[in-house]
Amino acid sequence: MEQSTIRITEPGNPPNDSEISKWIGLKAQEHWKQVTKLIEQLYPNVFAPQWLYGGQKHGWSFRYKKSKSFCTLIPEKNRFALLIVFGAEERAKVETIKENLSQYTRREYDNAITYHDGKWLLLIIDNKEIIKDIKILFAIKRKPKL
């Protein structure tokens, strides 16, 4: 399936909650809510999330950023993905905790491409185990405020 057929690519205004829910489906919507709530709980008043439009190829995404990117939620047809980019120091930290991650997350991390700006990890968020993994990975990106 082409990315443009799985992503929300309509230019103009960012999608609203209702459009997101219809696009990603009810199960994925629950995971989306869990992830956004997790970010709000661990990092209260840190990020000003914003919708970004990546054109017809990449469509809409919801990015959490302060001085640098924290993570990006990407609504896809009947699911959603989360992108985290790890710099060199962060990659060294991931290597020390990798065994605590699920097999899926470890495999995706090992197979992720490293670009000049870091290792781009894209995870499909479809169960609680992956949400547990991203909580660990979030702590590597930024120390929680708790």
CB 114 within 8 A of CB 60: no
Tokens of 54: 């990546």
Question: Measured between alpha carbons, how far is 89 from 95 in angstroms, rounded to an integer?
Answer: 10
Confidence of residue 2 (pLDDT cuts 50, 70, 90): low
Residue 1 has pLDDT above 80, yes or no: no
Q: Could you tell me the CATH number of the domain that includes residue 121?
A: 3.90.1150
Residue 102 domain boundaries: 3-141
Q: Is residue 146 part of a domain?
A: no
pLDDT tens digits along 32-81: 999 999 999 999 999 999 999 999 889 999 999 998 899 999 999 999 99
Q: How many domains does the chain have?
A: 1
- Confidence band of 5 (pLDDT split at 50, 70, 90): confident
Tens digit of each residue's pLDDT (9 = 90 or more) over 81-93: 999 999 999 999 9
* 115 belongs to a structural domain: yes
